[in-house]
Structure 1
């Protein structure tokens, strides 16, 4: 264990109700929300359409099917949803070729969770092919399991992905902390009955009884995550 990983007070750890930490990917751990937007802007430019900034706030954090459907409807682009989905995933993969930028505090937090053997899952609306590509940079070893948007019948904002992750880790959703950056992800986590820690990326998120908001993962460590669940209990 390195000096960058804070020790957890044994009394607090034993008294904590925290069973697992479930993390979103895009905009939460990796700085890819802007890359997704660049992919969308580029593809629609190829189709002869200009995406306005107002569209970005609608599609951020959304599952591919919802975001792509919205953009087709908003622009009137003549392209089937299935084809657009393939193009967007391929363009994103091209843009992240190489190292994916981690957000401040993300790698340190993942290392801390791993060092203290906290059950951890990556829960994303992105497709499996995208998640696996990003994990080459982030490190698949940090996660006990991963859930992709194309592996569930209903992805975010529905609770299904987080319920699946909690079940896979053998955890009670009410004793899980979910870390998210968008309203879509927050809605999914709250619907699953989890405690939510929001780190807004593109669109502001307000605090709520089951939701704590911070500016950056640099403000988050394991003792803080423990207190979120014990306070709720």
Structure 2
């Protein structure tokens, strides 16, 4: 599968945010980079998004069906918001709803968000071994920038936001973009994701995937390992994921 890699964003903390003097990922012939999703993978925010969606639609006079939560989780804002408008018949445009949802989510999370179990330890280990890391999210740049301080300074060599890519998850473009920006072979990149949408994007890009399901179950498959928590994931595990597939 081929995909056009979009031009880098001009945002100072966005796609061109590779740290100066960073060691090229090609030094490790096996694992060259690690890409991590944000909501539900590194930070415990999927429930916050659902709370925001329910609150906004309640103000519009509609009640969301709990079964819809699995439909909207992990996807781009346009897909999730569009699905909810169509399902409820709410009298609101997609751009208007997108702004309301982002506003309500930001108000809900405050200044800090809780990290998922094992996230801080995994990020610290990867940093200590100079493994290039990219945060690859379907969330918008304004949301990523609000959450980034929760990971500490310079946590990632690169961050990719959903509103900076022409086609975001489940398309492979965000992960192909991250690999290109870090000079890595997608087949030698490990991706950590919590939703079927994110897993589909990573696998379409040719990456090896660790799935840590948050809201809906994800089945194991070739090139994919499913674990219960990030506490089961470390650098040795990620390297084995790459070398074990060769």
Instruction: Give 2:84's aligned residue.
Output: 71
Aligned 1:182-193 pairs, distance under 5 A: 182-193=195-206
1:122 matched to 2:135: yes
The CA deviation at 1:139 is: 2.4
Which of structure 1's runs of 4+ aligned residues deviate more than 3 A?
Answer: none
Instruction: Give 1:165's aligned residue.
Output: 178
* Distance of 2:159 and 2:236 partners within structure 1: 24
1:91 matched to 2:101: no
Residue in structure 2 matching 1:178, options 177, 182, 191: 191
Aligned 1:117-156 pairs, distance under 5 A: 117-156=130-169
TM-score using structure 2 length? 0.88
Instruction: Give 1:39's aligned residue.
Output: 52
* Distance of 1:213 and 1:53 partners within structure 2: 25
* Distance of 1:192 and 1:140 partners within structure 2: 28
Residue in structure 2 matching 1:54, options 67, 71, 79: 67
| SS of match in other structure, 1:142 | coil
Which sections of structure 1, spanning at least 5 residues, go unmatched? 1-13
* Distance of 2:153 and 2:30 partners within structure 1: 26
* Distance of 1:81 and 1:160 partners within structure 2: 23
The number of equivalent residue pairs is 220
TM-score using structure 1 length? 0.93
Quick check: which one's helix share is greater?
1
Instruction: Give 1:4's aligned residue.
Output: none
